[in-house]
Structures are given as C-alpha cells and as structure tokens.
Structure 1
C-alpha cells in the first residue's frame, strides 16, 4: 500500500509539470496568433498589399518572422521567403509546423484573389522549453517518489504504532484485565474516535461481566440458605412416618418455599438483565392511568383485609413510553410493600398526576418509614431493614423498582410521608417523562 501510494504521489508531479508546460505553450500560441492577426490587419488596410509586404519584409529578419504573399496561381508575390514552406499547407488558419530551426507558429490568411498571406513566428525557444519540461518532470518525479516513500513510511509507522497499542491493550484484556483501555493521543482524529468507541464498548462489556459476576454471586450466596432449608424440610418429612395429610402439608410448605426461591431467582435475573442493558424491552405507549386504577382495584380487597384505608387519585390520559410489564411490576412492588409494612388502622395513598417535571406516580403510607441515611441502601440487592425481617420477602422489591426507573429514564425519590399528626410514613415517587408525539 505504501509503494502504491508513493507511485501515485510520484506520478502526480510530472503530470502537473507537463500540464503547466502545455498551458504555457497554449498561451504562447495565442500571443503569436494575436500579433499575426494585428499585422495582417495593417497589411490588408494598405492600398498596395504587395508593396506593404515588401516594405515589412525588408526590415524583418527571416529568423524572427516569416512574411509572404502569394497570388491566386500560387506565385510568391512578396515577402522574405524564397518560396512557400513545404511543411505548411495552403489552407487558411493557425497552425504549428516543424522547420529546420525548430517549430514555427503560422497564421495563413486567405485573400480575395485566392492567394494567401503568411505571417509566421519561429519558436526555437520551444525546443528548449520542451527539453526543460522533460528534465523538470523527471526531477520532480524522483523528488516526489522519494517524498512519497518517506511520507508513506512515516504514516505507516505511525499507524502501525497506534494499532500496536490497540493490539497490546486487547492482549492485556484477553489475559483477564478488563480495566485496561485504549490510550488516546488527544488529536481527536479517526484513531482517537476509534479508541473512544472501543473504550465505550469495553466499558459496556466490563459492566455486563460485572453484572454477571454479581448476579452469580448473589444467586450462589443468597439462594444457598433457602435451598438448604428446603432440603432440610423435605429430609425431616421423610425421616418419620406421617399421615397422608401431614405429608400433603409438608409438600405444600415445600412448594411454597420453592415458589419463593423461583420468584427470587426470577427477580434477580430481571434486575440483572435490566441493569446490564440486555433486557428486551417492549417499548410502547403505557397508559399509566389505566395501570394505576387496575392496581388499585387489585389491592383494594387486600388493603381492607389488612385494616388499611387505600385510596386512589389519578389524572386521566397519562401516557408514558416504556415496557408495560416492567412499569406495572415496579408499581406493584411499591404498593405491595406499602400494604405489607403499614400497620392495621393506617392508610395507603396511590396517586398519579401530571407535574411540570413529568408524570409522577407516588405511593404514600403511614408505615414505619425509612430513615434518611438508609434510603440509598434499601435500593441495593437483598437489603432488608430490621422492621421488615419478620415478613416474607427477599429484599429485591425496591432493587427492581430502581432498575426499572433507570432503564426508563425516570427519577426515583424516597421522602418522609408523615401524616398531618406528625406520625411516621414514607413517600416513594416515580417521575416518568411523558409520551411525546413524534
């Protein structure tokens, strides 16, 4: 590739020199044609053209200019030539012909009697110019070839050096160091743009690998105990003779625990896929109004059974862009937590309104609330505060909500939800960007 580029570079110089020489020759021809046209005009304006040609030829050396006038029968009437040049056709026009001393630029003008007026300018300097063009073209070709090879080698070495750094970085990453990144030169050229794209890809890969490691660690660490308990329960059931009813009860309890383990496992996978950016989101218009009303209708009997006052407040026509299943699951987790952790006699408020910041869906309850210094911690995996440890759950509800909020470009807020009497409580708000028509 370097040799090919150098050859192209070397060929460009001589072509430019030859093109310049041709342009100079064309300008010279135009200049001589203009001089000949002016002289012919003066001669033809004289009453006696032959006398005018004779007088002009007498003071014009033949090596500087050819002047000749012929009659209609071809006879040479006047001029400084002994005869009409053999290399010059008797046709009106401007032409360059070869002569003994070099090229000649001739202007042949037809006369009314059928004769011709010849005014020609010998151009011996054109021989020198042509030779000079060849020498300059050859020298330029050599210089351009050397310069092209040198430039090509420098460019190639620079490119190979930068590619070698990419290869060394890739080799280090393949060896297991995912923290390495392709260095930039700071010139913001194509190589730096390539480095930026590769580094962004590596950041993405490192994030995905970290997510996989994290979910694997969580599954191994947090599902081991439930699985061991399940196995122990089944082992105890098999160790002693039991009635069919007792076996059915033990199996039902084991199935409930297995369902809890499967639910935890599915929640972990969902969170991991969302946080890793590999979840296949079904992004479309989500009717938040309908989702909130349906959720309220679903949980109203459970709230009454728990002795809670559940009220729904929602604006009509609230639409966002997102995955309906994930949005519904996040709202379900919030309302389920509020009902689960609010003591009997308390209240739960589920609302959805259009605000200047976007569509805000909030759940307020009169439960124990969450201390301000614990609100960031409860969004992590498997975190359960002391008041919730006696209740069923794996500590993944708010983690899933946080993951859904992140992937939908929403904002999650945890605040005090104290009632008017100053009691405890929690207010969790999700603010989604409203659906905009494209």
Structure 2
C-alpha cells in the first residue's frame, strides 16, 4: 500500500511539473476566472435592471394615485389609496396618506415624517415589525404626504435563485476545468512521454525506433512526423557510415597491400642495386588511385552536407546535355558504342551546372565502361508534372533488381565489375548530387539493359 501511494505521489509530482499540466491549469484558471467575472457582471446588471423596473412601477403607481387628487375633494384620493392597500398586506406593499400633522388619512400604515424622495428601507425603519425590505417613494400632494412602497421579496427571490444557480454552475465549471485539464494534460503528457521514450531508445542505439502517430493530424502528429523523418535520415546516414567504414576496410585493403608489396619489392631491388623505377612508378600509380578514392569520398560527403548549394543558379539542362554530347559522342564511338541525346522540352532548374554535368557524365561513363561493344546509350529529357525527367538508358546487361539499391552505396561493386577499373563511387556521387537538387532517382529494366531516371523540380517560372 505504501509503495502504491509513493508511486501515485511520484506520478502526480511528475505530472504537476509537466508543461501540458501547467498549460491546462493556466487555461483552466483563466476560464474559471472569466466565468466568475462574467457571472458577477450578469448578476450586477440583473440587480440594476430589477431595481430599475421596481422604481418604474413605483413611479407609475404614484402617478396614477396622484391623478385622482382634487384640491376641493380628497375622497377619491383616499379611496384609491385604500383600494390598493386592501389588496396587499404590509409585507407586500405600503401605502400611506398623511396630513401635515402626521395624521393618517388613508393606507395600511401610518408613515413617520419622511422627506420627499426614493429610499430603500426596512420594516423597522418605518415602525413596522419583521425584516422586510421595501423600495419607497415619498411625494407631496397639496398639503398631504403620499408614501408608496413595494416589497423587495420578488427581486430578492429572483436574485437568490440566480445566485444559487450561478454557484452550482460555478462548481460544475470548476470541476469540469480541473477534470478536463488533468485529462488533457495526462493525454498530452503520455504522447510527450512516448516522444521522450523514443529519443531515449535512439540515444541507446535503437536507430529504428519511431514515434507512434495518433492519426489525428494535430500539431503533435506533425512534430512526430518531422522527428521520424529526421530519425530516418539519421538511421540512413549512420548505416551509410557503417557501410562505408566496412567497405573502406574491405575494398582498400587489397590496393594498400599491393602498394606495400610493391614498395617491399622496390626496397629489395634497391638493396640488390637493381633498377626499381618501374616499381616506384607502379607504387605511385597505386597511391594515386587510393588518393582518388578518398577524394571522391570526401566530395560525396561535402555534397551530402549541402556545401555546394550556395552555387545554385538557374541552369538549362539542354545546355548541359550539349556539353555531354560534345565530350562523350566520340568517346562512345571509340568504345564501339553509340550515344544519342533527345531533348523534348526546355528545362530550367535551380542547381549547380558543374555537378549536374558530373552526374550525367558518371552515368554515361558507367554505360561505356560496363556494357559490351555495340551497346546503344540514349539520353532523353522530357517535362511532366512540374518536373524535368532526365533518363539515361542502355542496351547492355543491366543490373539485377535486387542489386539496384545497393549500387548507390559507397564502394559497392557488382561481382562482374570488380575486374574493371573504378572505385565503386560513381553512382554514389550521382545519388548525392541528385539528392542535393531535391531530385528523385530510380532504376528500371530497359528490356534489355538498364534505364536510370532522375526527376528534377523545375524552376517556378518554368512550372507556370
């Protein structure tokens, strides 16, 4: 039991310190204060309105009684007053007509001398028993003093009913504000706790952890979706770094060993006074290839970090394709392959011209280096749905469907390509450049061969 109480106390203490609970309490207090202020204003306005109506009733009654007065005959005045008094007891209303000496001439009580005016009096103030309250009007009619008063009972009863109703409503509002505030705070805190739990799991290495989405489409769902996207990107980057580390250890081990053996052979030859210039040239070429690999890795990392975005400007893909055609048409022909370029639309995108040239060149070089003689290489450009679709297709052996995502990894090479020159970074660079330009890249079967499609978003002026 003690443990359960301690747990509840700790839970409440944690809830009390949470931001959702504090916000709920703040808005609850503001709501309750607003309700009570509004109620007080309504009560005050109702009190004024009822008092005004009572005074108007007194004024009308006084005017009616006064209208019956004739200086030569006070009988009608006295009869009218007595008629009013006969229908009401002193607890309901007071009527009095007195002469200048204070003698009662008509009515249901003898009013003491009171100056003209409107007053709120009690029974004891006018010499009567009880604890009634009256609104009284005193006026002069000729030589007489006329007193007309109505009881506050109806007004007080109505105000009492309003006040009791308001008290009950206030209690319900307070209970609803507290209960609703706690419910909403607990609910919001539970969702924030799931966010905290997910981030804690990520911090302990569970990079595949994601924040649950409620499906209500509220602001917390929006934040959760954005965080999940960031976690997905983080997972991809970390896995990519792990893969790069493994690939570097695996793929660079052979050239480094080869470099070491070449240097050992050069040292041994030098000890024998032999000519080692060929070995040194081979070692230099091997070190150049290793340096080129690391430079390519560094360039990919810089592109993925967005370091080249400051060089973005409106770029005509047609002009880029013209450069590719000029440079690679003869290269493809020398390699016993054909290169054709078809541009079906003017395509202006926001990007880095040099990087876009490198992207297309890498795809063309891949097709030239890894396809047999007689392969047709076709580059096409078309516009569709606000995007410029660039495709590079060949009629070579293609890439198996299960390998198409892997070839974008750094240093990854197909088994059939390991005997050809290259570092396995060409397509990694292509993907990095495409993502820098917010482009979507995909591979598909060209029947036969491979087709690589890249969708670039057109500049706003081109979309319109």
TM-score by length of 2: 0.69
Q: Which moved more, 1:242-251 or 1:210-219?
A: 242-251
Residue of structure 2 in register with 1:231 after alignment: 260
Cα offset, 1:393, TM superposition:
0.6
Matches within 5 A, 1:101-116: 101-106=131-136
Structure 1 residue ranges without an equivalent (≥5): 419-424
SS where residue 240 of structure 1 aligns?
A: helix
CA deviations on 1:374-433 (whole Å, 9 max, x unpaired) are 772673434444654433112332343344445533343444377xxxxxx655443434
Structure 2 residue ranges without an equivalent (≥5): 1-15, 125-130
Residue of structure 1 in register with 2:288 after alignment: 259
- 1:38 aligns with one of 60, 69, 79: 60
Q: Structure 2 vs 1, CA of residues 400 and 16 (structure 1 numbering), >3 Å: closer, same or farther? A: same
Cα offset, 1:335, TM superposition:
1.8
Measure the CA separation in 2 of the matches of 1:157 and 1:378. 45
Cα offset, 1:169, TM superposition:
4.2
Cα offset, 1:336, TM superposition:
1.7
Measure the CA separation in 1 of the matches of 2:460 and 2:273. 60
SS where residue 241 of structure 1 aligns?
A: helix
* Corresponding position: 1:25 with 2:47: yes
- 1:379 aligns with one of 387, 397, 407: 407
Measure the CA separation in 2 of the matches of 1:155 and 1:361. 51
CA deviations on 1:199-218 (whole Å, 9 max, x unpaired) are 44433333332222222222
Measure the CA separation in 1 of the matches of 2:450 and 2:245. 32
* Corresponding position: 1:174 with 2:203: yes
Residue of structure 1 in register with 2:446 after alignment: 416
SS where residue 359 of structure 1 aligns?
A: strand
Cα offset, 1:156, TM superposition:
5.4
Residue of structure 2 in register with 1:289 after alignment: 318
Matches within 5 A, 1:201-280: 201-241=230-270, 250-269=279-298, 278-280=305-307
SS where residue 179 of structure 1 aligns?
A: coil
Measure the CA separation in 1 of the matches of 2:430 and 2:391. 12
Paired residues of 1:57 and 1:79 also in contact (CA < 8 A):
yes
Paired residues of 1:378 and 1:399 also in contact (CA < 8 A):
no
- 2:81 aligns with one of 57, 61, 67: 57
Cα offset, 1:333, TM superposition:
0.3
CA deviations on 1:301-323 (whole Å, 9 max, x unpaired) are 54455465545444573212344
Measure the CA separation in 1 of the matches of 2:325 and 2:271. 43
CA deviations on 1:313-372 (whole Å, 9 max, x unpaired) are 445732123443432221010122233345667664444344678534344556x43266
Paired residues of 2:270 and 2:276 also in contact (CA < 8 A):
no
SS where residue 379 of structure 1 aligns?
A: helix
Paired residues of 1:417 and 1:427 also in contact (CA < 8 A):
no
Residue of structure 1 in register with 2:7 after alignment: none
SS where residue 391 of structure 1 aligns?
A: coil
SS where residue 314 of structure 2 aligns?
A: strand
TM-score by length of 1: 0.72
Cα offset, 1:271, TM superposition:
5.1
* Corresponding position: 1:392 with 2:421: yes
Measure the CA separation in 2 of the matches of 1:357 and 1:191. 31
Cα offset, 1:264, TM superposition:
2.7
- 1:370 aligns with one of 392, 395, 398: 398
Measure the CA separation in 2 of the matches of 1:245 and 1:44. 146
Q: Structure 2 vs 1, CA of residues 387 and 149 (structure 1 numbering), >3 Å: closer, same or farther? A: closer
Paired residues of 1:15 and 1:137 also in contact (CA < 8 A):
no
The total of aligned residue pairs comes to 423
CA deviations on 1:46-90 (whole Å, 9 max, x unpaired) are 46386554233223154433446799x99999764645665xx64
